[in-house]
Structures are given as C-alpha cells and as structure tokens.
Amino acid sequence: MNKIVGLKEFRENVEEYQKKVQKGHSFIIVKRSKPIFQISPITEEEQWEELIDFTKIKKGGIKAKDLLSRL
C-alpha cells in the first residue's frame, strides 16, 4: 500500500524516506493535493546489469567523450 506524503515533507526528510524505500515501502508524493510522482523500491528485474567496468581498463574510468569518439 502506498502512503501519501506532501512534497515539502518529502524534501525535508528525503534521507528518512530513502531508508524506508530501501526497506520496501512505497510513497505517492503530492503537491497541493495532486499526485506528482511515486517512489518505490527497485525490483530484481529493474536492477541495472553491469556490462563493462571501465575502471578496470583505466584507473578513474574513461571519459564518455573519448569512448564515443572511438565507436
């Protein structure tokens, strides 16, 4: 079940809501009683898959501009 939270409350306590979302809670954020977005935990299917770790190629990674110029 989604809990309704005001935008101001969310902004002032974003770290608290981050921890709650990581524990599985979902929230609908409203502004002037109108829903503007929903925040919820990422499911296993939605997690990003690591394709390449560019820090293994060069310490600190590779600049996107350099990578794109070589494609």
Is the pLDDT assigned to residue 65 strictly greater than 90?
no
Domains of the chain, start order? 1-41 (3.40.1620)
Identify the bridge partners of residue 4 per DSSP, sorted by sequence position: 28
Q: In this model, does residue 60 exceed pLDDT 90?
A: no
> How would you list the strands of the sheet with 2-6, edge to edge?
2-6, 26-31, 34-39
- pLDDT tens string 2-27: 899 999 999 999 999 999 999 999 99
Residue 53 has pLDDT above 80, yes or no: no
32 dihedral zone (left: phi>0; alpha: psi -120 to 50; beta): left
